[in-house]
Amino acid sequence: MSYVFRDDLFSGRHTFLTGGSSGIGQRIAERFSLQGARVSIVGRKQEKLDRAVEAIRSSGGQAQGFAADVRDYSATEAALARSHASFGAVDFLFCAAAGNFPAPVLGMSANGFKAVVDIDLLGTFNTCRAAHAFLRKPGAVVISISANHAQHAYPLQAHVCAAKAGVELLSKTLAIEWGPEGIRVNCISPGPIDDTEGMRRLAPSEESRGQVIAAVPLRRMGQRDEIADLAIFLCSDAAAYITGAVLPCDGGIALTGPRDLDGLLQRPR
């Protein structure tokens, strides 16, 4: 169940999201549309983008989708330019594109490590760097989706730990550099969120789901709407003095980290 916000909270605002055609990014796009925002989403597959855009439009929202790979700076910049031409200055920028697969360090290739770092960290840099010219100044809000991997070392997740730690420090640096222009930059750090590709990869069985839930102090997985609720708060005037922050929405799992180490290491991959 999501919190009920005023329907016109973001009326006339422009939200641009990478990773917006699935998972957490898609739900944020849908919820911001319901709050009156015009939504631009970016992903690698046009067919997935078309489905996500149609879902928003069928609910009465305004949306457009652009196929681009965030690892490609020129393609990302082109998508931003096209979205700006249609919907105007970007009020809310979300960096939600991410990659993941479970593997020990000795079981992943250099290319596999690089792929995740490039999508998560380089993709966040590319999106933020290219977006600066199109952001509303003052007033824009930039939010990157991190993970508690940035604070806790997780077995089978060295690539994600490295990438997300970089995302958080990059965001804090941008908060300092762009603050004088009236741009706020923050991170949301989700815990295990149900109905996402990440959890389908990391907890593919009922047994592994149970192991994850047992590590969460609230003893449940989160919902995509709960991340969207936090995103709405951070973009609202209620958060006007918050920048450079990493806000967890994780049921408390960042307090405990992985507990069943043997189970994680022995899990079939």
1 CB neighbour count, 10 Å cutoff: 7
Coil, helix or strand for 161? helix
DSSP track, 76-139 = HHHHHHHHHHHH-SBSEEEE---------GGGS-HHHHHHHHIIIIIHHHHHHHHHGGGB-TTT
Q: Give the span between the Cα atoms of 7 and 31, in whole angstroms.
A: 10
Is it the case that residue 1 has pLDDT exceeding 70? no
Strand partners of residue 193? 222
48, pLDDT greater than 60: yes
State the amino acid at position 106 in one-letter form.
Answer: L
Give 138-152 pLDDT, tens digit per residue.
Answer: 999 999 999 999 988
Strand partners, 246: 187
Question: Structural domains in the chain?
Answer: 14-266 (3.40.50.720)
Q: What is the pTM of this model?
A: 0.93
Q: How confident is the model at residue 180 (pLDDT cuts 50, 70, 90)?
A: very high
Report the C-alpha gap between 94 and 255 in whole angstroms. 26
Contacts for 201-207 with beta carbons within 8 Å, 24 or more apart? 201/100, 201/101, 201/102, 202/100, 202/102
Per-residue DSSP letter, 194:
S
Residues carrying an active site annotation: 146, 164
pLDDT tens per residue, range 230-259: 999 999 999 999 999 999 999 999 888 665
Residues 208-215: contacts with CB under 8 Å, at least 24 apart: 208/267, 211/260, 211/263, 211/264, 214/259, 214/260, 215/253, 215/256, 215/257, 215/258, 215/259, 215/260
Which residue from 61, 73, 65 is spatially nearest to 30, judged by alpha carbons? 61
Q: Dihedral (C-alpha) 67, 72, 75, 76: value to the nearest 10 degrees?
A: 80
**Contacts (Cβ under 8 Å, ≥6 apart) of 177:** none
Pairing of strands 92-95, 141-145: parallel
What size, in residues, is the chain? 269
Query: Any idea which of 4-13, 118-127, 214-223, 252-261 has the lowest mean pLDDT?
Result: 252-261
- Mean pLDDT value across the chain: 93
> What is the sign, positive or negative, of the torsion defined by CA atoms of 20, 64, 131, 140?
negative
Residue 202 has pLDDT above 80, yes or no: no
